[in-house]
Chains A and B, each alone.
Chain A
Amino acid sequence: MLKTIAAAMLISAAFVVTVHAQDGGKVTIVTSFSKDVTDPFKAGFEAANPGFTLDVQNKSTSSGVKYIDETKVNNQVDLFWASAPDAFDSLKSRELLAKFTPSVTGLPEKVGSYPVNDKDGYYFGFAASGYGIMSNDRYLEANDLPKPVEWSDLTKPEYHDHIAIAAPSRSGTTHLTIETILQGEGWDKGWATLKGIGGNLQQVTERSFGVPDAVNSGQTGIGIVIDFFAFSAQASGFPVSFAYPSVTTVVPANIGIVANAPNQAGAEAFVNYLLSEKGQAVLLEPAIRRLPINPALYEKAPEGFPNPFKDPRFQSMITFDADVSKKRTDVVDTLYDQLISFQLDNIKGATKAIHEAEKAVAANEQAPARALLTEAHALIAAMPITDEEAASQQIRDAFTGGEEKTARQAELEQKWAAFASEKYAAAKAKAEEALALVD
Chain B
Amino acid sequence: MALVQSIPIRRVSAKPGQIFAISLIALFLAIFLIIPAGTVIYTAFTEKGTGALTIVNFVDFFNTDLFRRSFFNSVYVSGMSVVWASAIALPLAVLTTRFDFRGSLIIQTLGFIPLIMPPFVGAVAMQLLFGRNGTVNLILNDWFGIRIPFMEGLNGVIFVQSLHYFPFILINLSTSLRNIDRSMEEAAQNLGSSGVRLFRRIVFPLAMPGYLAGASLVFVKVFDDLATPLLLNVKDMLAPQAYLRVTSVGLTDPMGYVISVILIAVSIFAMWLSAVAMRGKDYSTTQRGGGGLSRRKLSRGESVIAYGVVGLILLLVLSPHIGLLLLSLATVWSYSPMPDGFTMAHYGRVFGESSLYIKNTLIYASLAGLIDVVIGGAIAYLVLRTKVVGRRWLDWAATSALAIPGVVLGIGYLRTFYGVTLPDGTPLATLWVMVVLALAIRRLPYALRACYAALQQVSESLEEAAENLGATKQRTIRRIVLPLMTGGLLAGFVTSFSTAAVELSATLMLIQSNSDAPIAYGLYVFMQSPAGRGPGAALGVIAVIMVALCTLLSHYVIERRQKALGMTK
Interface residues of A (CB under 8 A from B): 1-2, 4-5, 8-9, 12, 15-16, 18, 20-21, 28, 32-38, 55-63, 65-67, 70-71, 73-74, 76, 86-87, 90, 136, 138-139, 142, 167, 169-170, 172, 202-206, 209, 212-214, 216-220, 229, 232-233, 235-240, 286-287, 329-330, 333, 338, 341-342, 397, 399-403, 405, 408-411, 413-414, 417-418, 421
User: Is B421 a contact partner of A74 (Cβ separation < 8 A)?
Assistant: yes
Which residue of the partner chain A has the closest CB to B497? A8
Q: Which residues in A have their C-beta under 8 angstroms from that of B533?
A: 213, 216
Interface string of B418-457 (1 = CB under 8 A from A): 1101000111011000000000000000000000000000
Residue pair A213, B233 in contact (C-beta under 8 Å) = no
> Could you tell me if B418 and A36 are in contact, using CB atoms closer than 8 angstroms?
no
Q: Please tell me if B250 contacts chain A, counting CB pairs below 8 Å.
A: yes
1/0 per residue B46-58: CB within 8 Å of A?
0111100000110
Q: Does B472 contact A (CB under 8 A)?
A: no
Closest to A35 in B: B525
A142 CA / B508 CA spacing, docked (Å)? 39
Q: How far is the CA of A413 from the CA of B56 in the complex (A)?
A: 15
| Extra A-B contacts (9), CB below 8 Å, given A34-B529, A35-B532, A138-B334 | A35-B525, A57-B514, A59-B509, A66-B509, A71-B427, A74-B425, A139-B133, A139-B335, A408-B60
Q: Is B124 an interface residue (CB 8 A)?
A: yes
Contacts A71-B414, A238-B530, A330-B251 given; does A55 touch B514 at CB 8 Å: yes
6 closest Cβ pairs, A-B complex: A401-B49, A218-B335, A401-B48, A34-B528, A410-B60, A34-B529
Q: B486 contacts which chain A residues (CB < 8 A)?
A: 1
Asked if B124 contacts A217 (CB within 8 A), the reply is yes
If A18-B359, A21-B515 touch, whether A232 touches B57 (CB-CB below 8 Å) is no
Stretch at the interface among B63-71, B89-97, B100-108: B63-71
Q: Which residues of B contact A403 (CB under 8 A)?
A: 49
Q: Kindly state whether residue B336 has any CB partner on chain A within 8 Å.
A: yes
Closest to B356 in A: A18
CB distance from B325 to the nearest CB of A (A): 16
Residue in B closest to A400 when the chains form the complex, CB atoms: B251
B127 sits at the interface (CB 8 A)? yes
Count B-side interface residues using an 8 Å CB cutoff: 83
Q: In the assembly, what is the distance between CA of A142 and CA of B145, in Å? A: 13
Query: Which of B76-98 touch A at CB < 8 Å?
Result: none
Partner of B418, one of A70, A330, A417: A70
B513 at the interface (CB under 8 A from A): yes
Q: Which of the segments B262-270, B292-300, B362-370 contacts the partner chain?
A: B362-370
Q: Bound complex: CA of A214 vs CA of B134, how far in Å? A: 11
**Chain B contacts for A4, CB-based, 8 A:** 557
Q: Is the CB of A213 within 8 A of B249?
A: no
Contact with A along B478-496 (1 / 0, CB 8 A): 0000110010011000000
Q: Given A66-B411, A76-B427, A217-B124, are A172 and B332 neighbors across the interface (CB < 8 Å)?
A: no
Query: Once the chains bind, are A62 and B248 in contact (CB under 8 Å)?
Result: yes
Q: B133's contact among A32, A218, A400, by CB below 8 Å, is which?
A: A218
Question: B379 interface residue, CB < 8 Å from A?
Answer: no
- A76 cross-chain contacts in B, Cβ below 8 A: 426-427, 430, 512
- CB–CB A216/B249 < 8 A: no
Give Cα A61–Cα B528 distance, bound, in whole angstroms: 12
**Known pairs A57-B511, A408-B48, A414-B65; A62 contacts B124 (CB<8 A):** no
> Quick check: A219 and B134 within 8 Å, CB to CB?
yes
Interface residues of B in 521-564 (CB under 8 A from A): 521, 524-533, 557, 561
Known: A15-B363, A401-B47, A413-B64. A237 touches B332 (CB 8 A): yes
27 contacts between A and B (CB under 8 A): A1-B483, A32-B528, A34-B528, A55-B514, A60-B508, A63-B509, A70-B411, A71-B418, A74-B419, A74-B421, A76-B430, A138-B334, A202-B132, A204-B233, A206-B230, A217-B131, A218-B334, A232-B529, A232-B531, A239-B335, A287-B530, A287-B532, A401-B251, A409-B48, A409-B253, A410-B255, A414-B65
Tell which of A74, A170, A217, A330 touches B427, judged by Cβ atoms closer than 8 Å: A74
Residues of B with C-beta under 8 A to A402: 49
A344 vs B249: C-alpha distance in the bound complex, in angstroms?
23
Q: How far is the CB of B123 from chain A (nearest CB, A)?
A: 9
> For the complex, what is the distance from the CA of A55 to the CA of B513, rounded to whole Å?
6
Query: Are A287's CB and B235's CB within 8 A?
Result: no
- Nearest-neighbour CB distance to chain A for B230, whole angstroms, equals 5
| Given A12-B367, A219-B127, A399-B251, residue A58 in contact with residue B65 (CB < 8 A) | no
Q: Which residues of A contact B511 (CB under 8 A)?
A: 57
Cβ–Cβ < 8 Å partners of A15 in chain B: 359, 362-363
User: In whole angstroms, what is the CA distance A432 to B419 when docked?
Assistant: 62
Which residues of chain A are within 8 angstroms of B233 by Cβ–Cβ distance? 203-206
Q: Given the known A-B contacts A1-B490, A12-B366, A238-B334, are A342 and B236 also in contact in the complex, defined by CB atoms under 8 Å?
A: yes
Cβ of B363 and Cβ of A169 under 8 Å apart? no
A199 to B44, CA, bound (A): 34
* Residue in B closest to A169 when the chains form the complex, CB atoms: B248
CB distance from B324 to the nearest CB of A (A): 13
Nearest Cβ on chain B to A264's Cβ, whole angstroms: 16
Whether, in the assembled complex, B331 has its beta carbon less than 8 Å from a beta carbon of chain A, the answer is: yes
Q: Which residues of B contact A (CB under 8 A)?
A: 47-50, 56-57, 60-61, 63-66, 124, 127-128, 131-134, 230, 233, 235-236, 240, 244, 247-251, 253, 255, 331-336, 359-360, 362-363, 366-367, 370, 407, 411, 414-415, 418-419, 421, 425-427, 429-430, 482-483, 486, 489-490, 508-509, 511-516, 521, 524-533, 557, 561
List chain B residues, Cβ under 8 A from A287. Answer: 529-532
Most buried by A among B133, B415, B483, B521: B133
* Complex: A287 Cα to B529 Cα, angstroms: 8
- Complex Cα distance A204/B232, Å? 10
Contact partner, A142, options B247, B251, B335, B411, Cβ 8 Å: B335
Q: List chain A residues, Cβ under 8 A from B421.
A: 74
The reply to whether B359 and A341 form a contact with Cβ atoms under 8 Å apart is no
Q: Is the CB of A8 within 8 A of B370?
A: yes
Known contacts A12-B363, A55-B514, A403-B49; A237/B526 CB under 8 A = no
Q: Given A37-B529, A70-B415: A239 and B508 within 8 A (CB)?
A: no
- Would B251 and A58 count as touching, CB distance under 8 A? no
CB B26 to nearest CB in A, in angstroms, measures 24
Partner of B419, one of A33, A59, A73, A213: A73
Task: Find out whether the CB atom of A67 lies under 8 angstroms from the CB atom of B509.
Answer: yes
Say which residue of B249, B429, B527, B530 sits within 8 Å of A90 (CB atoms). B249
A58 contact from B64, B255, B525, Cβ within 8 A: B525
Please name all residues of chain B whose beta carbon is closer than 8 Å to the beta carbon of A205 when the two chains form the complex: 233
Q: In the bound complex, what is the Cα–Cα distance between A235 and B532 (angstroms)?
A: 12
Closest chain A CB from B353 CB (angstroms):
9
Query: Across the interface, which residues of B come within 8 angstroms of A216, CB to CB?
Result: 334, 530, 533
Q: Which residue of B lies closest to A235 (CB)?
A: B531
Task: Report the minimum CB–CB distance from B216 to chain A (whole Å).
Answer: 26
CB distance from B247 to the nearest CB of A (A): 5
Are the C-beta atoms of B508 and A63 separated by less than 8 Å?
Answer: yes
Cβ-defined contact, A1 with B557, below 8 A: yes
Question: Which residues of the partner chain B approach A235 to less than 8 Å between Cβ atoms?
Answer: 531
* A219 engages B526 (CB within 8 Å): no
B contact residues around A341 at 8 Å (CB): 235
Complexed CA–CA distance, A67 and B510 (Å): 9
Residues of B within 8 A of A18 (CB): 359-360, 515
Interface centre among B63, B134, B233, B247 (most CB of A within 10 A): B233
Known: A70-B415, A73-B418. A20 touches B515 (CB 8 A): yes
- Chain A minimum-CB-distance residue to B231: A210
B90 to chain A, nearest CB (A): 28
Closest to B258 in A: A410
**Closest partner residue, chain A, to B335 (CB atom):** A218
Chain B residue with the shortest CB-CB distance to A61: B249
In the assembled complex, the Cα of A142 lies from the Cα of B251 at a distance in Å of 44
In the bound complex, CA of A9 to CA of B373 (Å): 13
Report the Cα distance A330→B533, complex, angstroms: 33
For the complex formed, measure the closest distance between the CB of A51 and the CB atoms of chain B, giving whole angstroms.
Answer: 18
Q: Is the CB of B335 within 8 A of A236?
A: no
